[in-house]
Amino acid sequence: MYRVSVIGTGFVGLCTAVCFADRGYKVLASTKYKEKASLVNQGIIPFHEPNLSKVLKKAVRSGHLRAVLGREEAISHSDISFITVGTPANPDGSIDLRLIRQTAEEMGKALKEKEGKHLVVLKSTVVPGTTEKVVKPILERNSGKKCVEDFLLCSNPEFLREGNAIQDTLHPDFIVIGEHDKKSGDLLEELYRDFHEGGVPPIIRTNPPTAELIKYVNNSFLGTKISFINTMANICEKIAGVDVRNVAEAIGKDHRISPYFLRAGLGWGGSCFPKDIKALVAFSKSLGYEPNMLETAWKVNEAQVEHTVEIVKNKLGVLKEKKIAILGLSFKPDTDDIREARSIKIIKKLLKEGVTVTAYDPQAIPNVRQILGEKIEYATSAVKCLRNTDCCILVTEWDEFKRLKPKHFTENMRHPILIDGRRIYNPKSFSEKLDYVGIGLG
């Protein structure tokens, strides 16, 4: 069995590491942060992700996973390394490859001392060309070795979703291998065939720039699909008796469209769609092509925030001194991640209008507090959040919010106006009891 190391212990790195360990591989997770290494080695996860804690504890207890400081030990005691460090955005939206460059340099130095052929796999999301034009020369320069002859190289983007990361890693829809050369691809395919023994997903083998682009295209397509249905939702809202949910359900039956990612609402956030779509726009422009469709998908997404605030204004008139409840702060349920969350954008707009905001989220309050501090009030439950408010905006569809009944709103709010930003409530029964507005409901 190959020994695996994972460079970077962020979301993708940690999930990759624990899943390989869970399948019986010896895994070293390399981090530069002492506290992080210590947390991982105690089986403590640094962020909220369903099932991750259980799998991590098991992996650490069984001795299959260990976090180590720096890159050297990880490289020298493994055969295959996955690079999973972050690729944030520059202020202009283009990708910031500083961490990738730094990691390749450190890995190159570690490879210098290493005997045997190591396979380096770039999992971080990067623009086409990065594996071959950035990572490869840095590895070669710092190791004094040659790719193919002395070490192997692949690009291998990941498609896991937050909130579902373990399941997605263990059972992906497909695997993309962008091989620098056939030997590199063969070895990575062998690893994955062994990992998924009994249920190997389709494996697509291609060259590195194609693999790198596939990741962006995947996310851009999904983001565009959501912006498309949100555009339809806004049309539906203008036609009495039409509900975008019915429209989406119908077109979703057409197998060419599929029912997924057709949930209209407040739009997309998170650590991937916004960053990746922006990066692809910037990359495309750098090549001299204006990707109008992607820019429109982005604009539509941003406009959903404005649209929501407009709905509130239509309902309440002047917003100054009104009190508004926000249910849900994370960018989607089952995570405490608030990167590009619609909640923060909506709250900031409401605060500008002089609104008093009270918010509740089962997991994300500590993260929001770091950004908004005491500019808003934080409730300790959904029902408490509703108390004495003039309007409620449901921003994230956590399961516990789905259990709220009309009486929870009517009995607690000063004015029971509910804007269902994720369409989780029954429009008929809620409209009978309170002033209910659903995104995409005419």
339 within 8 A of 269, measured Cβ to Cβ: yes
- Rounded CA gap, 90 and 74, in Å? 29
Q: What tokens appear for 82 in the block?
A: 């996955």
Piece in contact with ligand UDX (CB under 6 A), picked from 62-70, 96-104, 109-117, 260-268 = 260-268
DSSP state of 381: S
What is the rounded distance in angstroms from the CA atom of residue 226 to the CA atom of residue 217? 14
Among 269, 406, 421, 440, binds ligand UDX (CB under 6 A): 269
| Contact call for residue 283 and ligand UDX (CB under 6 A) | no
> Per-residue x/- marks for ligand UDX, 88-127, CB under 6 A?
----------------------------------------
Residue 42 phi, psi dihedral angles, 5° rounding: -95, 0
Q: How far apart are alpha carbons 442 and 438 in whole angstroms? A: 8
Token pair in block for residue 269: 């956030």
Q: Is 103 exposed, middle or buried (0-12, 13-18, 19+ CB in 10 A)?
A: buried
Window 139 to 168, contacts with ligand UDX (CB under 6 A): 158-162
Q: Does 2 bind ligand UDX (CB under 6 A)?
A: no
| Per-residue contact string for residues 212-231; x = within reach of ligand UDX by CB under 6 A | -------x--x---x-----
Total chain residues near ligand UDX (CB under 6 A): 20
List 20, 25, 268, 436, residue binding ligand UDX (CB under 6 A): 268
By CB atoms closer than 10 A (0-12, 13-18, 19+), residue 227 is buried
Beta carbons of 237 and 304 less than 8 angstroms apart:
no
What's the closest the beta carbon of residue 69 comes to ligand UDX, in angstroms?
A: 28
Based on the shown chain and the rule CB under 6 A, indicate whether residue 274 belongs to the binding site for ligand UDX: no
Q: Is 331 in the site for ligand UDX (CB under 6 A)?
A: yes
Q: Is 332 in the site for ligand UDX (CB under 6 A)?
A: yes
Q: Which range binds ligand UDX by CB under 6 A, 29-37, 85-93, 270-278, 319-327?
A: 270-278
* Residue 265 binds ligand UDX (CB under 6 A): yes
Active-site residues: which are they? 272
| 104, containing H or E segment | helix 98-113
**CA separation for the pair 359, 203 (Å, rounded):** 44
| In the complex, least distance from residue 267 CB atom to ligand UDX, rounded to whole angstroms | 6
Q: Taking contact as CB under 6 A, which single stretch among the options 14-22, 52-60, 63-71, 267-275 is the one that binds ligand UDX?
A: 267-275
End-to-end CA distance of the chain: 58
- Contacting residues toward ligand UDX, per CB under 6 A: 158-162, 219, 222, 226, 261-263, 265, 267-270, 272-273, 331-332
